[in-house]
Chain A
Amino acid sequence: MQLTVWTYEGPPHVGAMRICAAMKNVHYVLHAPQGDTYADLLFTMIERRDTRPPVTYTTFQARDLGGDTAELFKNAARDAYERFKPEALVVGSSCTAELIQDDPGGLTAALNLPIPVIPLELPAYQRKENWGAAETFYRIVRTMAGPHARAPGVLRERGARARCNILGPATLGFRHRDDLTEVLSLLAALDVDVNVVAPLGATPSDLARLGDADFNVVLYPEIANQAAIWLQRAFGQKSTRHIPIGVRGVRAFIAEVAELAGVGIPVMLESRARLPWYSRSVDSTYLTGKRVFVFGDATHAIAAARVASAELGLKVVGLGTYSREFARELREAAALYDVEPLISDDYLDVEVAIAAAAPELVLGTQMERHIAKRLRVPCAVISAPVHVQDFPARYSPQMGFEGANVLFDTFVHPLMMGLEEHLIGMFRGDFEFRDGVAPSHLGHAAPSETETVAVVEAEGAQVAWTLDAEKELRKIPFFVRGKARRNTEKFAIERGNTRIDVEMLYEAKAHFGR
């Protein structure tokens, strides 16, 4: 049993819905009680989609449990087929139906429907949403493309132009819609044709054509890796490994695609990349060494840390993911910044880790926004799970050179602007510069005045602060005060002092100063 305040991922059948809702002409019959229909609102409210996800729920009730829930499932599957006439039917159970063991796959097979039926086994008490999405995508791909698999060693004959599939964009993904536009334009600039984009917008018959491409572009490994591995086996298609997030990420991605496609790289490709100049312009100097904590799905967290560190000059003081499936990749990335990798889907653990790292900026999910709000640290969202406002109306990709521009703005926007920070530091006594004041351009987001317990908690009663030192400490900007307090106490204890005066405070500042 795990105590969960917030969950980063839904159950695996929600992952399956994300794939089915992304595709066309697929219908998902889900054996589930009525409450599970809440999942529709993820799509219609949070993502603001204008259609219901293509899901039929059996919505069994307690009184059905003594009777024939299997019959209920068969009727629902038959009715769904007749009403929606899909090209393929996906069937499975949610967590509760898994316990009553009705075998949706077998029951649907007995209906002899004239379309492919794809049964899903998604262990709800063991796995989560992204795994469910990856498994579902793989099962549908395999069912549809499997009959066209090539004999081992037989490759597709290359055409005059290179051709690839794009795998991974789905519903409820973080900026998938705009990432896809960005990546399509990169591929077009490289003279690479796109065979199939999946799951977003693909029909089952499109998936049957997946083999008709030279290689696969994998945008979101959390969703597409499993299918890409199978496509490599069935069709000998290689996959891209680099994620085109951040200027260096995009460059690596372009180089990789160019090699897989056997094409050259046009020189003008980077003309829209503003991040390098914005980062070098003098106003950005104030970003140097600012402490940033990064958490999210593995792909976005690893990429955001890389951009924060090498492209904005921030200091990564924490890096973590809730994607246990990508623990190895995250550990490798954490080693680059010499930080302890945090691999956890426990919100409470993440909260503790963030408080301990005392960052000046948090890059995370909607959940880290809650944590950052409590700790009064600025925060930007870089990964699912997200709020309705993170499905913006405007074009706002994470990938490609425009994506890098967006990242610059996203990371910098919640922070104090360069000169503003200095002014607040210098004129602390100004009545308008009260503690906890928000950056002036974020007027409405002013954090509350109360200090957070997690940050200011003194280390037991080992040291005492003099009144003057305590007053001096209040002059340090609130967002680094917790860190200053703890550093000073640590400094004092290491030197065998139990009393901190103004002198000691500045000694410590000189010692730890960056």
Chain B
Amino acid sequence: MSLAACHDAPQINVRQERGQREVFCGLTGIVWLHRKIQDAFFLVVGSRTCAHLIQSAAGVMIFAEPRFATAIIDERDLAGLADIDDELDRVVTRLIERRPEIKLLFLVGSCPSEVIKLDLSRAAQRLSQRMTPAVRVLAYSGSGIETTFTQGEDACLAALVPPSPRAGADAPPSLLVVGALADAVEDQFRRYFADMGIERVDFLPARHAADMPAIGPNTRFLLAQPFLADTARALEALGARHLPAAFPLGAEGTQLWLAAAAKAFGVHDALFENAISSARSRARASLARHRARLEGKRIFFFPDSQLEAPIARFLARECGMELVEIGMPYLHRRHLAEELALLPAGVPIVEGQDVERQLDRCRESAPDLVVCGLGLANPLEAEGFATKWSIELVFTPVQGFEQAADLAELFARPLMRRELLEV
């Protein structure tokens, strides 16, 4: 297991680590995406392991009627005894009969489907032709050999881009916000943009399959999430332009993110200030409460959601926390450039993972709070560490001014709880 050090910018200290990774695969994204796009269904083409993963990761089987399922590959499929196309047709037919309200079906590739080289894009095209116009079928891969956790959302959104409507070169400039956000957060952002006078604002993904936004050379897009590399590339391929920005986590991040749009759309400073000032003061005031508890506390990040860098920036700069180590599954230098520049100098960033060594370092450094995945949280608590499960960061509305205090509270609560308990 190699451990290479490299110093590419004076203030950033990035190390690559290889070994056992303790992260979900991209299939996990289905858990929130199937709620976000209300008429979409996600059909994983994979093994029983995939089916088991999604139902287990889904907050322990909460939905009685989920809009996801798995087409489990069996030995007949592998041995070539069954025609995969026929099998997929049969499964999809049964599925759509059961859920006739479905307008958009994703065939989601998995580790086994990738290894046996199932061409799901071709299958999606064929099924789409068969079921048009009632159902559109798209394909993407959420396989764990290619994607980690939140990258599944990236792959899904990237698949939505090519078939989306086109906006021509003469279309008026429009703003596109990319990345699944809670509906309430979306609505707040819409209001700020409206107050700034930015008229045409779309969100990807839209809440319904038929409402996916038009994209063209006059589209400017903001990434709402830091894990959308492929989606950004697909948008740029259609001429859309990325507005580099810090991510909308915390009051500072939200302001910087909104400001990037304001600048691109020529919004005057006064108008911008007017649009955000009251929300920003609310955010700052409510953050103060949590800052008291978090200030000076040391925090250690295991790699998981890919939100580690912006959250670390928020916790360090707005809550006064001390960053011990920031683990991330991978580092997208371009999309994270604004974030990395805001991090305190010399913060150790570890890209990749060797979970055993990282646990050694974590124990050694004895942080006050550990951010980690669900597999590690209880064992670390049992060892005496306070933990915050990182999956909550993707399932909870945390972006924007109004949620800044909620985000801080997610980290304050484990500490508060320890003070409360007397057993």
Q: Give the interface of A toward B (CB within 8 A).
A: 1-7, 9-11, 13-14, 33-42, 44-46, 48-52, 56-62, 65, 75-76, 79, 83, 94-96, 99-100, 123-126, 128, 348, 366-367, 369-370, 373-374, 385, 387-388
Knowing A33-B144, A35-B24, A366-B61, the reply to whether A10 touches B49 (Cβ < 8 A) is: yes
Q: Check B56–A3 contact: CB distance below 8 A.
A: no
Please name all residues of chain A whose beta carbon is closer than 8 Å to the beta carbon of B24 when the two chains form the complex: 34-35, 37-38
Q: Is the CB of B91 within 8 A of A75?
A: no
CB B15 to nearest CB in A, in angstroms, measures 18
A65 pairs with B145, CB closer than 8 A: yes
Residue in A44, A50, A51 whose Cβ sees the most chain B Cβ within 10 Å: A44
- Complex Cα distance A370/B22, Å? 30
Q: A124 to B373, alpha carbons, bound, how many Å?
A: 26
CA distance A52 to B379 in the complex (A): 6
Show 14 A/B contacts (Cβ-Cβ < 8 Å), sorted by A. Answer: A3-B95, A4-B72, A7-B48, A13-B49, A34-B21, A34-B25, A38-B56, A40-B374, A45-B375, A59-B20, A62-B143, A65-B115, A79-B1, A125-B75
- Verify B376–A44 contact, CB threshold 8 A: yes
Residues A37 and B71 in contact in the complex (CB < 8 Å), given A1-B87, A11-B48, A51-B382: no
Interchain CB contact (< 8 A) of A45 among B112, B356, B374: B374
The reply to whether the CB of B266 lies closer than 8 angstroms to some CB of chain A is no
Say if the beta carbon of B51 comes within 8 Å of chain A: yes
On whether the beta carbons of A62 and B25 are closer than 8 Å, the reply is no
Of the candidate stretches B62-70, B172-180, B203-211, B361-369, the one touching chain A is: B62-70
Q: How far is the CA of A7 from the CA of B255 in the complex (A)?
A: 45
Kindly provide the distance from the CB of B145 to the nearest chain A CB, expressed in whole angstroms.
Answer: 4
Say yes or no for B27: interface residue by CB 8 A criterion. yes
| Chain A, residue nearest B381 (CB) | A50
Q: Contact check: which of B75, B115, B379 meets A123 at CB < 8 Å?
A: B75
Q: Say how far A172's CB is from chain B's closest CB, in angstroms.
A: 11
Contact B56 A125 (CB under 8 A): no
Question: Known: A3-B95, A45-B60. Is A99-B112 also a contact (CB below 8 A)?
Answer: yes
Q: Which residues of B contact A44 (CB under 8 A)?
A: 374-379
Closest residue of A by beta carbon distance from B378 = A44
Query: Known: A1-B72, A34-B144, A374-B64. Is A57-B20 also a contact (CB below 8 A)?
Result: yes
CA A49 to CA B48, docked complex, whole Å: 24
Q: Which residue of A lies closest to B147 (CB)?
A: A35
Residues on the A chain within 8 Å of B5, using CB: none
Is the pair A50, B48 in contact by a Cβ cutoff of 8 Å? no
B111 contacts partner chain A, Cβ-Cβ < 8 Å: yes
**What 17 new A-B contacts, CB under 8 Å, besides A13-B49, A33-B144?**
A4-B48, A11-B52, A33-B111, A34-B144, A37-B22, A41-B56, A41-B374, A41-B375, A45-B378, A56-B20, A59-B19, A96-B144, A99-B112, A124-B47, A126-B75, A367-B61, A369-B64
The answer to whether A1 and B145 have CB atoms under 8 Å apart is: no
Provide the residues of chain B in CB contact with A62, threshold 8 Å.
114, 143, 145-146
Select from chain A the residue with minimum beta-carbon distance to B53.
A38
User: Is B78 close to A, CB under 8 A?
Assistant: yes
On B, residues with C-beta under 8 Å from A are: 1, 19-28, 45, 47-49, 51-53, 55-57, 60-61, 64-66, 69-75, 77-78, 82, 84, 87-88, 90-91, 94-95, 98, 111-112, 114-116, 143-146, 148, 356, 373-379, 381-382
A59 near B71: Cβ-Cβ < 8 Å: no
Cα distance, A149 to B20, chains bound together (Å) = 38
Let me know if A96 and B112 touch, CB within 8 A.
Answer: yes
A403 and B56 alpha carbons, distance in the complex (Å): 28
Q: Are B23 and A34 in contact (CB under 8 A)?
A: yes
Q: Contact between B65 and A374 (Cβ–Cβ < 8 Å)?
A: yes
Contact status A35-B115, CB under 8 Å: no
How many Å lie between the Cα of A387 and that of B58 in the bound state?
A: 12
Nearest B residue (CB) for A369? B64
Cα of A44 to Cα of B376 in the assembled complex, Å = 7
**Set of chain B residues within 8 Å of A50, measured between Cβ atoms:** 378-379, 381-382
Asked if residues A14 and B52 are in contact (CB atoms below 8 Å), the reply is yes
Which A residues lie within 8 Å of B55 (CB)?
Answer: 6-7
A58 x B20 contact (CB < 8 A):
yes
Q: Are A94 and B1 CB-contacts (below 8 A) given A4-B69, A46-B60, A48-B378?
A: no
A residues in contact with B73, CB < 8 Å? 1, 125
Q: How far is the CB of A478 from chain B (nearest CB, A)?
A: 18
Most central of A11, A37, A38, A52 by chain B CB within 10 Å: A38
B378 contacts across to A, CB distance below 8 A: 44-45, 48-50
What are the residues of chain A within 8 A of B27 when measuring CB–CB? 35
The chain B residue sitting closest to A96, CB to CB, is: B111
Min CB–CB distance A225 → chain B (angstroms) = 22
Beta-carbon contact of B52 and A3 below 8 Å: no
Q: Is there an interface contact between B374 and A83, defined as CB atoms closer than 8 Å?
A: no
A1 touches B74 (CB 8 A): yes
Contact B146 A5 (CB under 8 A): no
Cβ-defined contact, A7 with B374, below 8 A: no
CB nearest neighbor in A for B377: A44
If A33-B144, A40-B22 touch, whether A6 touches B48 (CB-CB below 8 Å) is no
CB of A38 within 8 A of CB of B21, answer: no
Nearest residue (CB) in A for B48 is A11
- A10 with B88: CB separation less than 8 A: no
Leading 9 A-B pairs by shortest Cβ distance? A35-B25, A35-B144, A40-B375, A50-B382, A1-B87, A96-B111, A95-B47, A41-B374, A10-B52
Complex Cα distance A10/B72, Å?
12
Which residues from chain A contact B373 at a C-beta distance below 8 Å?
Answer: 41
B115 near A2: Cβ-Cβ < 8 Å: no
In the complex, the chain B residue whose C-beta lies closest to that of A41 is B374
Q: Which residues of A contact B115 (CB under 8 A)?
A: 65, 96, 99-100
- Shortest Cβ distance from residue A414 to the other chain B in the assembled complex, whole angstroms: 16
In the complex, A62 Cα to B66 Cα: how many Å?
Answer: 30
Cβ–Cβ contact B25 & A52, under 8 A: no
Residues of chain B lying within 8 A (CB to CB) of residue A125: 47, 73-75, 77-78
Q: Considering the chains assembled together, what is the distance between the CA atoms of A484 and B74 in angstroms?
A: 42
Given contacts A1-B82, A44-B376, A96-B112, contact A61 B145 (CB under 8 A): yes
Cα of A90 to Cα of B394 in the assembled complex, Å:
35
CB neighbours (8 Å) of B144 from chain A are 33-36, 96
Query: A35 and B111: CB pair below 8 A?
Result: yes
CB distance A34 to B148 under 8 Å?
A: yes
CA distance A387 to B59 in the complex (A): 10
Contacts of A9 in B (CB 8 A): 48
Name the distance in Å between B135's Cβ and chain A's nearest Cβ. 16
Decide: B47 and A126 in contact? CB cutoff 8 A.
Answer: no
**Which residues does chain A contribute within 8 Å of B90, judged by CB atoms?**
1
Whether the Cβ atoms of A37 and B74 lie closer than 8 Å is no
- With A44-B379, A62-B145, A99-B112 already in contact, the answer to whether A3 and B69 are too (CB < 8 A) is yes
In angstroms, Cα B48 to Cα A302, docked, is 26
| Distance of A3 Cα from B84 Cα, bound (Å) | 13
Most chain B beta-carbon contacts within 10 A, residue among A1, A58, A367: A1
Which residues of the other chain, B, contact A367 by a CB distance below 8 angstroms?
A: 61
Q: Are B53 and A35 in contact (CB under 8 A)?
A: yes
- Residues of B near A52 (CB, < 8 A) are 375-376, 379
Contacts of B382 in A (CB 8 A): 50-51
B25 A33 Cβ-Cβ under 8 A: yes
CA distance A385 to B48 in the complex (A): 14
Separation in Å of the A388 CB from the closest CB of chain B?
5
Distance A38 CA – B374 CA, assembled complex (angstroms): 8
B57 and chain A: residue at smallest CB distance? A38
Bound: A318/B45 CA distance, A = 32
Residues of B within 8 Å of A370, CB to CB, are 61, 64-65
In the bound complex, residues from chain B placing their C-beta under 8 Å from that of A373 are 64
In the bound complex, CA of A120 to CA of B95 (Å): 35
Please indicate the chain A residues that have their CB under 8 angstroms from the CB of B57 in the complex.
38, 41
- How far is the CB of A42 from the nearest CB of chain B, in Å? 6
Point out the residues of chain B lying under 8 angstroms from A385, CB to CB: 61
Q: A45-B60, A99-B116 are in contact. Are A126 and B74 (CB under 8 A)?
A: yes
Cα distance A45–B59 in the bound complex, in angstroms: 10
Q: Give A259 to B66 CA distance when docked, in angstroms.
A: 51
Contact A51 B379 (CB under 8 A): yes
Determine the residue in chain A with the shortest Cβ distance to B94. A3
